Amino acid sequence: MRRSGALAAVAVLICTALSGCTPSAAEDSVVTKAADTGTLVIGTRFTQPGLSERTLDGRFVGFDIDVGRFVAAELGVDPDDITWRDVVAAEREEVLTSGAVDMVISTFSITAERKKNVLFAGPYFVTGQSLMVRKKTTDITGPSSLDGKKLCSVTGTTSAEEVKARFAKRVTLVEYPREPDCVTALLAGLVDAVTTDEAILAGYVAEHPELLKIVGKQFSVERYGIGLPKGDVDGRRAVNAALQEMIDTGEWRASVQKHFGGSGIRVSNPPPITER
């Protein structure tokens, strides 16, 4: 347990230089739940190689998983006391507003529309939308070459919305609830390309390098945030402090290298935390 980090995160919440200390975080804050119960429920996805994946032997691995464990530890929760819940993209806002999870760490892009219903901490990672095709494909080199093609994306993601807004007149959009469904459709020849964040696509290319490849340049900017229930400003302060600690100690970069080092993904430096 990172006791010093946990104390630092809590100190950010309860003390200020000008006004002194307040008794505690809000009663309904994730900080209070972590302190009172020693547990957290974190929504993520179980089928994103490199990011968040449940292995056949029941382990949870990936960059998003590492972020979740670090943040939980900073809040005083042991990794064994985290309950991971599989949440598809279209459910992420719903599980937060209903209280089914305490936070969502699941390639959750920060957008103005989502911020109407969700409070974000972070960002903790920046990537961009890209395209994945079969290895032998030569006529798709980027979004400008999608005329007449079938393109697969995940329902409820910014990737699907981006395609609808910019390419809907030129492509047939096929949507599934999960990325593995799109990958299966691509390998079976049912669609011509898959679009989502490059960080997600890289995991599938790493699994099937002889069958899949990423083409073209990124054509959006996706800033991943940790989703919290609307109004939990105490929770956001604590999570932001935890993310900064992960960056400052080098654990952020170590995790990125571990999970993306061999994938060829374009990774920038840690992003500045701007959601305050």
Question: How far apart, in Å, do the first and last CA atoms of the chain sit?
Answer: 26
Q: Are residues 69 and 103 in the same domain?
A: yes
Q: What is the DSSP letter of 177?
A: S
- Kindly state the percentage of the chain with pLDDT values over 90: 70
16 and 57 within one domain: yes
pLDDT of residue 41: 98
Check whether residue 24 and residue 135 sit in a common domain.
Answer: no
Counted domains in the chain = 2
Say yes or no to pLDDT of 21 above 60. no
Alpha carbon distance 43, 115 (integer Å): 17
Assign residue 134 the CATH number of its domain: 3.40.190.10
**E strand intervals along 64-102:** 82-86
Asked whether residue 95 falls in the same domain as residue 196, the answer is no
Structure tokens at 54: 């449940």
3-class SS of residue 258: helix
**pLDDT tens digits, residue range 121-141?**
999 999 999 999 999 999 999
- Predicted local distance difference test score (pLDDT) of residue 264: 66
Average pLDDT over residues 250-276: 86
The chain-wide mean pLDDT, for the chain, equals: 89
- Residue 30 scores a pLDDT above 90: yes
Cα–Cα distance measured from residue 85 to residue 127, given in angstroms and rounded to the nearest whole number = 24
pLDDT (0 to 100) of residue 266: 66
Predicted confidence (pLDDT) at residue 101 exceeds the cutoff of 60? yes
Structure pTM?
0.85
Nearest by Cα to 246 from 48, 50, 66, 121: 66
Residue 116, domain extent? 3-127+222-260
| Cβ neighbours for 4, distance < 8 A, ≥ 6 positions apart | none
Same-domain status, 17 and 114: yes
Please name the residues in contact with 254: beta carbons below 8 A apart, sequence gap of 6 or more: none
Tally Cβ neighbours within 10 Å of residue 166.
15
Tell me, what's the pLDDT at 14? 44
Contact 114, 123 (CB under 8 A): no
Residue 230 has pLDDT above 50, yes or no: yes
Q: pLDDT tens digit string along 58-85?
A: 999 999 999 999 999 999 999 999 999 9
> Is residue 266 assigned to a domain?
no
| pLDDT confidence of residue 25 | 79
Instruction: Please give the structure tokens belonging to residue 55.
Output: 């292995």
Please tell me whether residues 82 and 93 are part of one structural domain: yes
